[in-house]
Structure 1
Amino acid sequence: MKTNFFENIASLNAPGIWKIGIQNDENGRFVVSALYAPTENNDPALKTIAPLIFKGTATEMDEGFFEAIEKPVQETAGLYSNLDAYRKSLEGAKKKLAQNNKSQPAKVKSEGDEDGEDDLEVTEPKVSAEEKKRIYTEAIRKVVLLNDACKYAEALDVLPSVTDYPEKAEELNKRKTDLTRKKEQMDKALQLFNQD
């Protein structure tokens, strides 16, 4: 008997660890539990991801199983890679902040200070207009890529804030509304699918 099960797994292009449990009953109904995790990340917080549960006949499983797991597997793979990218960018930001703090004045004592306490000179890091535009453009590119990959929650997380870019308020609010709508639709569809 020949199957193409493993070819379908390979076509998902998501190397990792697969845990698949299959239970069937005397009526020909199946319950399949599928849990995917990339091998390169052992973060304990990510171990809380629940497996996908599918119910149906053998024919229904043959026809729809891989279509049903494709998007969730890609989202899970994206979550892991985004966490790595986030951690790297956070480390980079910490290094830049440390460099900025070295070049900024620290405490300055006022000569006529009556209470004798040191005054702290607070200077906010200044971002050039070009840098701000580059950051915005890069964030929007990420949002578009995540939107195209149906990763709406992640796209919402990356979407720049209206308070940071008030001149782009209309565009940002429109994107946020669209992404929120799509995320809610996907959540409802996944709930309906998992109820079957």
Structure 2
Amino acid sequence: METFFKSLGKTGIGQFSISVSFHGTDCAVSLLPKASEGDNALKAIRPFTLKGSIEEIDTVFLERLGKPMQETKVLFDNANGYLSNLKKAEEKTKMANDRKEKKKKALSDLKELVKDKKFNPMAEHEKAVDLANKVLELDENDALAKKTIEDMKAYQQPTFF
């Protein structure tokens, strides 16, 4: 026969609240697993409660505790996994938005440079290529950036013959 605390430890749940009430030869034991994550839905879990004579509780408590605690562990693991994935998704979304904003700024700078009437490709072709490369780092398929790089090749090493 396994010991009480060893059995609780094997459930994989990190924290419990235990309440024991004695009423003559009868006993009521409540065991409440606590979630480590801050998910409020997990706080709605009701305690596992078993009532009976002290002898009955001694013999069947650990048996009857097994299945509900396994199910609770699965629930906690799923909730923790969900919260972890949610945090990752938020970070990715923020990263995606940051990347989108960076591309928008770089593309705007490139358009402003090459569409400006004062743009001199002979003098400013390197700046145009640099801006186009910044856009391509963020979106390798951007048509304007590719076209700008292609157009500026003629000004990188001008030939007079």
Q: Give the TM-score normalised by structure 2.
A: 0.49
Larger Rg: 2
Q: Give the TM-score normalised by structure 1.
A: 0.42
Structure (1/2) with the larger helix percentage: 2
